[in-house]
Structure 1
Amino acid sequence: MLHPDVHPDPTVAHRVATRTGPAQPTPDAVATLHPLGLDDVRLDPAGLLGQWQARNAAATLPHCVAQLDRAGALDNLRRLRDRDGNGGNGNGDRDGNGGNGNGDGCGAFTGMWFSDSDVYKTLEAAAWELARPQPGTELRDFLESTVALLAQVQDADGYLNSYVMAERPDRRWQELHWSHELYCAGHLFQAAVATARVGVGNSLETVARRLADLLLDRFGPDGVEAVCGHPEVETALVELYRSTGHRPYLNLARRFVDLRGRGLLNAERFGPVYLQDHVPVRDADEVAGHAVRQLYLLAGVVDVAVETGDHSLLAAARRLWDSAYLTKTYVTGAHGSRHRDEAYGDPYELPPDRAYAETCAAVASFQWNWRMLLADGAHRYADEMERVLYNAVAGSTALDGTHFFYSNPLQLRTGHDGSDSDAPDRRMPWYACACCPPNLARLMASLQAYTASGDGHGVQLHLYAAGTVHATVHGRPVRVTVRTGYPWAGRVEVGVRAESTEPWTLALRIPGWCQDYRVEADGADVTVDDGYLRLTRDWSSGTVTLELAMPPRLVAAHPYVDAVRGCLALIRGPLVYCLEQADLPPGTRLEDVRLDPAAPLGTAEVAGGPPDAVALTVGGIVAPPGPAALYRAGTTPPTGSGARIRLSAVPYFLWGNRDPGPMRVWIPVDTDTSTGTDTSTGTDTSTGAGAVRTDRRPHPGGAG
């Protein structure tokens, strides 16, 4: 259903009755599925997702709050307050001139010019966390004091950007290709939406709406035609519309989307592709440029499409999804194969050792796929959410929750210089460009909101996690209890209790990687539709047991992925595995290791890893090349002999938690398995007894 052109602004009446999480379509949106309330899903801290969320609350979020002080992001705002004693001077005008000026004795601006966005993302994370039981008082104090600070320093006309206000007040809105003014505003809007939905920091919505109204005056239908060099404000304006019911915010988001690709930005330095200004969205057929900017833009595109009923925008999003996930996504779900411009490369350009694979791109991929899932209901979007969450997102954070990767390569060579912050050999506590840690914090604080959904027919479980789900079906309460050791084990036990005897459908996703499953659901009418097992019955009392077969498997890349020809990856369930130097015999170089594809695959415990974590074991050959020249005649085999060993692979998300050292996901395959002695057992294994099938069925997302 399309919205009318004129939408009233009954701000309070428009709000939904229950507290909601991120990306909550309005009742009139053309969405297939609808999220459950923020309080409707609870993750059990005994399960892996629950552990991650608990770690986020105990370690990551407090760490981000402390780093905002340590790195100076909060001081940049405090200086605006302290220079004249009463906040902003209100001298800026709506045409982009004026502002606070530099003042006297305020100190220099610190850090990246868009550091305000780090504050806003942390505020959003704090709001989502405050919705969960028993948050610490320190977190509430941070949120309330920071919201008060923002209200103090905001200019009288609503403008708020600490860098421009302090350093470039005469250039307000004049350098949108690099200034990140609208990008920062977008993160402020999302933080305000989170506080409004949770019911904390109420004045932040007032701050956000004053700035949003300023944007309407300057960039609205009769205003300046312009877009931001870093998309983000589009999805944020839609969320602000959803929270307030104020239709002009949605109209402005649509206007920004429609203005993309018209060459409105100064592209002399960065180029139009990097800035997502090279082609109108509706005409685009290939994801390109800065990966985070592309993915944030696409999240906004889907939000605008479902709220306005714009089917051409949805069609463009589906087309670009095919481009991204069928030709340009790493096996870990990561995006961005070029360090230059943090960008997508050509189709199938996916070098493992030079993968940029920024953490924020992984978060953005998760968010875009959630919106696509709500719009279409297709399982491929949930499959990608799962893949990127358990690999690229999870791998960015250390087990202590306070160290992070910015880029996430799939291979680290012996002798790698880890001093380069773009490709470190270990996670770091913070970065000069600190976009990733608070982005992780806000995702993990709201993670439960992405696991399940509802529609007019029942409840859908998309991400399997131990916990409880509450919903309303046919106007009556429903409780779904999930017990599972996923992703370490494929058994999912679901207990259902409903107050009504009217039949409805419980949908359980069958992951795209799963080749075999078994279900026990007494009395249910069972169908399979687009990757979902749909169970219809009277659920006043009932149980379901789903067994997803999880054998280890070997996966090959598409032949066009030249960088990993002759290599295989180890995968079990949704988890990608890797070899680390720490698991090799002393003196063994990882580059000398080859995989024996005929050897049996096995499982083992991960020493020092999370509870129940599963490692994989596989046969390999160590074959040093000897004193080979850098280049040799193509017909001359390298010198050296091989010895058989049993290799142990750990989940990719766990790599780098021990001493820094080489790592690789894609393992070269040994082409000569006719001879060799297993040095771990002394047994001849050249027959390949128990050889495992190589899984070459294309993943719905395009890997393998």
Structure 2
Amino acid sequence: MSMVVGVPTASPVRPTRGRLRPLGIGEVRITGGFWARRQSVNADASLSHIGHWLEREGWLGNFDLIAAGDPGDARRGREFSDSEVYKYLEALAWEIGRSGDLGLERTFRHVVGRIARAQDADGYLNTAFGHRGQPPRWSDLRQGHELYCAGHLLQAAVARARTRPDADDGLVGLARRVAANICDTFGPDGLDGVCGHPEIETALVEFARTTGDDRYLAQAAIFLDRRGHGRLGDVEWGREYFQDDTPVREATVLRGHAVRANYLACGAADVAVERDDPGLLKAVRHQWRTTVARRTHLTGGQGSRHQDEAFGADWALPPDRAYAETCAAVGSVMLAWRLLLASGDPGCADLIERTLFNVVAASPAADGRSFFYTNPLHRREPGAAPDTDRPSIRAEAAQRAPWFEVSCCPTNVARILASLASYVATTDDEGLQIHQYAPATVVHRPPDSGERRVTVTTDYPDDGRIRVRIDSDDERPWTLSLRVPDWAGRGATLTVHGRTRPVDPGYVIERRRWRSGEEIVLSLPVEPRFTYPDPRIDAVRGCVAVERGPLVCAVESVDLPAGTNVEDLHVDPTRPPRNAGGRVLVCCRQLDRAEHDWPYGDPSAPPVEAGTEPVEVPLVAYHAWASRGPSTMRVWLPVG
């Protein structure tokens, strides 16, 4: 059963100014295809799966212990486990707003009730600090995650306020008390500190947008100004791990822990927009552009180092040791979306598409009950299937695992999938812009006009044909803008009234007095293609990858004949990849390398290599790898 669905403006980001305005989940509905299937699995399987593990591992029960007044030694989970409960709550809120599911509504209210009973009288709320037998409040800002957890609670409240503004469950009031306590504690005359894990900054801005209370915006700005001056001290990975090495306005690239870096940049972008601070916004945009150009994997994944889950130096993008955490991908989407709204830059939408299809979509299994935490581009050993009855170490699982000791990724995936429709389209004073392609309906009611209805029909990304039909009449002209991805090069076309013309990457714009029934068709070239790396990326120099439309492809060992090794496959670059029967094929040969006592030698006398005859090898979409049992895999293939 379901309730009435849809508050038109319900979206995770609602800036008060900017180049574009987002359309909410009450205005955009994904009706089929790739993303609708994933939203359905998220709603039907992932949310209940997450709730089960939160209960089983005691992370929900921690709130009951605090409410009972005696947590003692019974608290379970890491110091930041509260945040997973809050992200779960946020995912529930977006899904209830999307589908109106009454069962999820009951679950939501039950969880809120348990959280509310654990809140202290002055608004403080955390299950790891501040109670009998626990460290004092705010005693470990570097690693304690108290403000980080509070930030995710505020974002859950934002989701609830925007999807069910008349709800009487009490979450928004609870969050107000949390936010007020933070402002009282960390305001200009309070504790001079910041959180080791940024998140509170963007949460406070969004809560200010939701409540209209600018005190929260001011506190977010205070936290940003304090960052980068060494307040968190030194750690083995350096102050950049916390982005506490350089003030936000002076930084030139995202660095340190990749999730922290993206979340902090989101908060900076939000503050810049709300305070009309072009200097701060320019700094964040420059950091983003440099990071995309030099520190981002082909899949859109970010993070090169396992030791600190961090960005490496420029061009340090090893495929086999890529960390590319799922949460960093979610943070990257959040940041690119904010910059898109602020600037209208199509490159932001391009990165969102790449990251969604190749990292976010890769994390959950087809049944929605196991997940990738890290997303390497090369797997040398098949590894063992994870134990389905215990949490995995986060970077341990060679396959998707049902839960992790640090299980931030499942809840992050759940909340972005539930709210995904809000990343599809925007509006401005001129008309509508469609940034991401899926079967969808768009209904927008401009304040100074009638209703604009659009239906998108497509099999994207399997097929590059995107049909957009206008389903409303308008007496005044307005502009419809469609994104042409950068990967499409010069192969895209637009057909209007039977006339076809080539279109370049960026946005193709059609302005007219639209009539119901009119159609335009954007055709994108989704044939498989070779992609070559920048030669400064040492780890993949001399290699090539295969992409098809927005999808990165990979060779997986389960598709190879017995005795064939993905490590020794070399691509013939003179024979382009092709699509046959729905599968991408690439011409390779396997080198039979002779054994040597010493693996180095005179380059003028290379080792003898007896290679097999070239054969066509099938590839899989990267997001689908490891779906058929343990395997080896690689995206970047040597040329030879």
Q: Shorter-normalised TM-score: what interval?
A: over 0.9
Structure 1 residue 594 and structure 2 residue 570: aligned? yes
Q: Residues 238-282 of structure 1: CA distance to partner in whole angstroms, max 9, x if unpaired?
A: 110011000100111111111111111133455311111110000
Query: 2:14 matched to which residue of 1?
Result: 24
Q: Secondary structure at the match of 2:157?
A: helix
Q: Any conservation in 2 of the 1:192–1:208 contact (CA below 8 Å)?
A: yes
Choose the corresponding residue for 2:608, options 639, 648, 664. 639
Distance 1:126 1:248 in 2: 28
Q: What is the letter of the counterpart of residue 430 of structure 1?
A: W
Choose the corresponding residue for 2:94, options 119, 122, 128. 128
Query: 1:510 matched to which residue of 2?
Result: 484
Matches within 5 A, 1:251-400: 251-268=218-235, 271-400=238-367
Q: 1:557 to 1:526 in 2, by over 3 A?
A: closer
Structure 1 residue 669 and structure 2 residue 639: aligned? yes
Unmatched tracts of structure 2, length 5 or more: 1-5, 387-392
What displacement does 1:319 show?
1.0
Q: Residues 27-54 of structure 1: CA distance to partner in whole angstroms, max 9, x if unpaired?
A: xx2x10001132111111x310111111
Query: 1:77 matched to which residue of 2?
Result: 63
Q: What is the letter of the counterpart of residue 79 of structure 2?
A: W
Unmatched tracts of structure 1, length 5 or more: 1-15, 84-102, 606-613, 671-704
Query: 2:472 matched to which residue of 1?
Result: 498
Q: Any conservation in 2 of the 1:525–1:536 contact (CA below 8 Å)?
A: no
Q: Any conservation in 1 of the 2:254–2:291 contact (CA below 8 Å)?
A: yes
Query: 2:30 matched to which residue of 1?
Result: 43
Query: 2:78 matched to which residue of 1?
Result: 112
Q: Secondary structure at the match of 1:444?
A: helix
What displacement does 1:524 show?
11
Matches within 5 A, 1:458-537: 458-473=431-446, 474-515=448-489, 516-522=491-497, 531-537=506-512
Q: Any conservation in 2 of the 1:477–1:498 contact (CA below 8 Å)?
A: yes
What is the percent sequence identity of the aligned residues?
A: 44
Q: Any conservation in 1 of the 2:23–2:426 contact (CA below 8 Å)?
A: yes
Q: Any conservation in 2 of the 1:409–1:423 contact (CA below 8 Å)?
A: no
What displacement does 1:417 show?
7.5
What displacement does 1:61 show?
1.2
Query: 1:215 matched to which residue of 2?
Result: 182
Query: 2:585 matched to which residue of 1?
Result: 617
Choose the corresponding residue for 2:556, options 557, 570, 580. 580
Q: Any conservation in 1 of the 2:9–2:23 contact (CA below 8 Å)?
A: no
Query: 1:696 matched to which residue of 2?
Result: none
Q: Any conservation in 2 of the 1:497–1:539 contact (CA below 8 Å)?
A: no
Distance 1:551 1:170 in 2: 58
Q: Secondary structure at the match of 1:324?
A: helix
Q: What is the letter of the counterpart of residue 306 of structure 1?
A: V
Structure 1 residue 565 and structure 2 residue 533: aligned? no
Query: 1:180 matched to which residue of 2?
Result: 145
Q: What is the letter of the counterpart of residue 285 of structure 2?
A: R
Q: Residues 662-695 of structure 1: CA distance to partner in whole angstroms, max 9, x if unpaired?
A: 100000111xxxxxxxxxxxxxxxxxxxxxxxxx
Q: Any conservation in 1 of the 2:34–2:460 contact (CA below 8 Å)?
A: yes
Q: Residues 150-201 of structure 1: CA distance to partner in whole angstroms, max 9, x if unpaired?
A: 2111000000000113466552112101100000000000001111111146
Q: Any conservation in 1 of the 2:382–2:398 contact (CA below 8 Å)?
A: no
Q: Secondary structure at the match of 1:65?
A: helix
Choose the corresponding residue for 2:21, options 3, 28, 34. 34
Query: 1:99 matched to which residue of 2?
Result: none
Query: 1:87 matched to which residue of 2?
Result: none
Q: Secondary structure at the match of 1:25?
A: coil
Choose the corresponding residue for 2:594, options 611, 626, 631. 626
Choose the corresponding residue for 2:527, options 535, 547, 551. 551
Distance 2:384 2:457 in 1: 44
Q: Residues 642-667 of structure 1: CA distance to partner in whole angstroms, max 9, x if unpaired?
A: 11221111100000001211100000
Q: Any conservation in 2 of the 1:523–1:537 contact (CA below 8 Å)?
A: no
Query: 2:113 matched to which residue of 1?
Result: 148
Deviates more, 1:636-645 or 1:158-167: 636-645
Q: Any conservation in 1 of the 2:91–2:416 contact (CA below 8 Å)?
A: yes
TM-score (norm: length of structure 1): 0.85
Matches within 5 A, 1:225-236: 225-236=192-203
Query: 2:389 matched to which residue of 1?
Result: none
Distance 2:76 2:592 in 1: 50
Structure 1 residue 171 and structure 2 residue 136: aligned? yes
Q: Any conservation in 2 of the 1:383–1:512 contact (CA below 8 Å)?
A: yes
Distance 1:415 1:429 in 2: 18
Q: Residues 629-651 of structure 1: CA distance to partner in whole angstroms, max 9, x if unpaired?
A: 35132333233411122111110
Q: Secondary structure at the match of 1:123?
A: helix
Q: Any conservation in 1 of the 2:130–2:136 contact (CA below 8 Å)?
A: no
Q: Any conservation in 2 of the 1:335–1:357 contact (CA below 8 Å)?
A: yes
Distance 1:222 1:77 in 2: 31
Q: Any conservation in 2 of the 1:129–1:446 contact (CA below 8 Å)?
A: yes
Structure 1 residue 59 and structure 2 residue 45: aligned? yes
Choose the corresponding residue for 1:189, options 154, 158, 181. 154
What displacement does 1:525 show?
13
Q: What is the letter of the counterpart of residue 475 of structure 1?
A: S
Q: 1:408 to 1:171 in 2, by over 3 A?
A: same
Distance 2:339 2:106 in 1: 36
Q: Any conservation in 2 of the 1:526–1:534 contact (CA below 8 Å)?
A: no
Q: Residues 200-258 of structure 1: CA distance to partner in whole angstroms, max 9, x if unpaired?
A: 46411111110100111111122222110000000000110011000100111111111
What displacement does 1:393 show?
1.1
What displacement does 1:421 show?
4.0
Q: Secondary structure at the match of 1:405?
A: coil
What displacement does 1:149 show?
1.3
Q: Secondary structure at the match of 1:476?
A: coil
Q: Secondary structure at the match of 2:361?
A: helix
Q: Secondary structure at the match of 1:465?
A: coil
TM-score (norm: length of structure 2): 0.94
Compare CA radii of gyration and give the structure with the larger one. 1
Q: Any conservation in 2 of the 1:338–1:354 contact (CA below 8 Å)?
A: yes
Deviates more, 1:448-457 or 1:253-262: 253-262
Deviates more, 1:159-168 or 1:444-453: 159-168
